[in-house]
Structure 1
Amino acid sequence: MSKNLLNRYIWLIDTIKRHGAITRERLNRLWVQSPISDGEPMPRRTFYNYRNAIEELFKINIECNPSTFEYYIDSESDSYSESVTDWLLNSAAMSNVLSSVGEVSDRIFLEDVPSARMHLSAVIGALKEYHPVSFTYHPYTRVNPSPGVTVEPYFLKIFRQRWYVTGRNVREDKIKTYALDRMTDVNVLDTVTFAIPDDFDSDAFVRDAFGIVFSHGDPKEVALKVDSRQAKYLRALPLHHSQQEMVHDSYSVFHYRLRLTPDFVQEILSLGPRVMVMSPPELRAMVVSSLKETIALYEPVK
């Protein structure tokens, strides 16, 4: 499929989604105004062909209300959720928007995601075809790299602008996670295949995790007291899918169920004095310990 054709599908999905319901006439006017149409209207047959392709590719049904002749996204097939399809749609939709910026491109600044162009395609291919991947790994915690690492990739995850692959380290027979931008000499072993164990559930593996540190400890009930200003940010962009909020006059209490990891401690610390850990006690202790270590760096040398 050409990139141009995919962009047309994405434009159609995104436009109908934003309007909720829209007539074909209105849709066609917007289409002619968009940069991907070259100023040409969309023929009726082409529109129906795009509808069918979108349903096949994305499992998204574009339905028509016979009483208003408006088209809408069927809510039962709506894939705008935390899923691979959602990520692809959002990324492609953003690409469509940015492709039309033209003369203001020097006023738009984006974050670089180096791991998206370093080995992502190769690892996705290995993931899809169940091939192991070998590489040299350069961990930040050691001076020397680890050559000859072989991993059976189980799943991919993006966290803080970095892609990570999690799978079974063949030599150690352990489930481990690796950052794609710390890999070199990547080689897909396409003459070898593997099978993911029947009892391995990737959703369950990451459900109670924050970030990419997948602890095997039991998940804890976490309560954070957050001032009303910071609460607005957490409300708009939850820290974790388990987030629940209890609103008070000048603050909110956010509840989570997750495993306690260094990634989560760092996230709490990044929020500064606007957030206080109420429970559990072990998380309070982890945060206090980290704060004391930080304060010690600023104390005068005796």
Structure 2
Amino acid sequence: MPRDLFSRYVWIIDTLRHYGALTRKEINDLWARSPLSDGNPIPRRTFYTYLRQIEELFKITIQCNQSTFEYSISTTDDHQQSVVSWMLNSASIGNMLNDTAAVADRIFLEDVPSARHFLPQVVDALKQQRQLKISYRAFDRSSTKTGIVLEPYFIKIFRQRWYVTGLNVKEKRLKTYALDRITEAAVTPNQFVMPDNFSPQQYTANSFGIIFDEGEVARVALRVAPRRAKYFRSVPLHHSQSEIIHDNYSIFYYNIKTTPDFVQEILSYGPDVIVLQPPSLRARIAGILAHTQALYAATQSGPAVPPDIDPARH
């Protein structure tokens, strides 16, 4: 698909998301001011073709109100809407950055190595419901495991890394693989059917990060410093988040599995976040902090890092 054509689809969706409902004349007036436009309105037949392509590509239906002749985006379920929003935001940012070559040396983006090589194959396998054959080298393994047959159920991005979760056919259990640890991937001709009783949304609902099958759901209470609480309100850690505001702090509550990913998230906030409950999680965090403090104390009187191995000097 020509890049310019894709950009036009994104422009139409973005415009309707922003304004809510517009007539064709209003759309064309806005189109005339778009950098994608040559100043001419979108022909009627072309406009309807765009709407069909948008529905096919993005699963977004743009409907026309026969009373007002206004076009608007019909509603979708929450998860689908979040995926579509992410796709469109990414595409919109891409369109914007294409026009910023003059300041490219002043725009810094995070690298996403896992999207570089095998994401297209994984997405293709998802769409066609075909088994993947992969080779995988985990961080805790010295060798690459080959011939893994995976039935991919869903993909997720976390901490700028893509992951695929699905049924490991040989082991007959669900497993999650980081795409940047895959060394080979091929879509096989073998089709599979995802179980009717499996829902990716339900499977991931009680987890933070990409560890889904560890631990039980617990009622977690976190005492959060005021400045950090503002961030928590803006970007909730989990959909179950609720808050009680006090004078000098807030308490945030969650119904969530206390997985290693969640533990690391809590630790990343340092003294701004204190676990109040459950006792097991509080003890776990305290134990990690005590062990870390002991390591620092043990090396406090030791020699400084020799200059020849200090990476900051190179």
TM-score using structure 2 length: 0.85
- Once the two structures are superposed, the pairs formed by residues 46-85 of structure 1 within 5 Å of their partners are 46-57=46-57, 58-63=59-64, 71-74=71-74, 76-77=75-76, 83-85=82-84
Answer yes or no: is 1:135 the counterpart of 2:134.
yes
Gaps of 5+ in 2: 302-314
Matches of 2:203 and 2:46, distance apart in 1: 43
Gaps of 5+ in 1: none
Confirm or deny: 8 A CA contact 2:60 2:73 kept in the other structure.
no
Aligned residue number for residue 28 of structure 2:
28
> CA RMSD, aligned part only?
2.5
- Cα deviation code 1:53-83 (max 9, x no counterpart): 434543333545956x765444x34878654
Change (3 A) 1:103 1:288: same
Aligned residue number for residue 225 of structure 1:
223
Confirm or deny: 8 A CA contact 1:138 1:144 kept in the other structure.
yes
Confirm or deny: 8 A CA contact 1:215 1:259 kept in the other structure.
no
Aligned residue number for residue 244 of structure 1:
242
Matches of 2:267 and 2:257, distance apart in 1: 17
- Cα deviation code 1:36-55 (max 9, x no counterpart): 22444333443344344434
More deviation, 131-140/83-92: 83-92
Aligned residue number for residue 259 of structure 1:
257
- Cα deviation code 1:99-135 (max 9, x no counterpart): 2223122221111111112211111112222222222
Aligned residue number for residue 163 of structure 2:
164
Confirm or deny: 8 A CA contact 1:80 1:86 kept in the other structure.
no
Change (3 A) 1:291 1:63: farther
Answer yes or no: is 1:104 the counterpart of 2:103.
yes
- Cα deviation code 1:114-171 (max 9, x no counterpart): 1112211111112222222222211111222222222121111111111111112222
- Once the two structures are superposed, the pairs formed by residues 178-197 of structure 1 within 5 Å of their partners are 178-190=177-189, 192-197=190-195
Matches of 1:147 and 1:120, distance apart in 2: 18
Aligned residue number for residue 17 of structure 2:
17
More deviation, 139-148/192-201: 192-201
AA aligned to 2:170 is R
Change (3 A) 1:13 1:79: farther
1:289 to 269, 287, 290: 287
Confirm or deny: 8 A CA contact 2:209 2:261 kept in the other structure.
yes
Aligned residue number for residue 6 of structure 1:
6
Aligned length, in residue pairs:
299
Confirm or deny: 8 A CA contact 1:65 1:71 kept in the other structure.
no
Confirm or deny: 8 A CA contact 1:31 1:41 kept in the other structure.
yes
AA aligned to 2:60 is K
Matches of 1:216 and 1:80, distance apart in 2: 23
TM-score using structure 1 length: 0.88
Matches of 1:80 and 1:134, distance apart in 2: 28
Deviation at 1:216, TM superposition (A): 4.2
Aligned residue number for residue 274 of structure 1:
272
Matches of 2:191 and 2:70, distance apart in 1: 48
Find the residue that maps to 2:143 and give its secondary structure: coil
Confirm or deny: 8 A CA contact 1:11 1:96 kept in the other structure.
no
Find the residue that maps to 2:198 and give its secondary structure: coil
AA aligned to 2:239 is H
Change (3 A) 1:285 1:250: same
Change (3 A) 1:205 1:77: closer
Confirm or deny: 8 A CA contact 1:59 1:79 kept in the other structure.
no
Matches of 1:179 and 1:81, distance apart in 2: 23
More deviation, 204-213/142-151: 142-151
- Cα deviation code 1:167-206 (max 9, x no counterpart): 122222221110011011222222x222223332222111
Answer yes or no: is 1:152 the counterpart of 2:148.
no
Matches of 1:79 and 1:217, distance apart in 2: 27
Identity %: 50
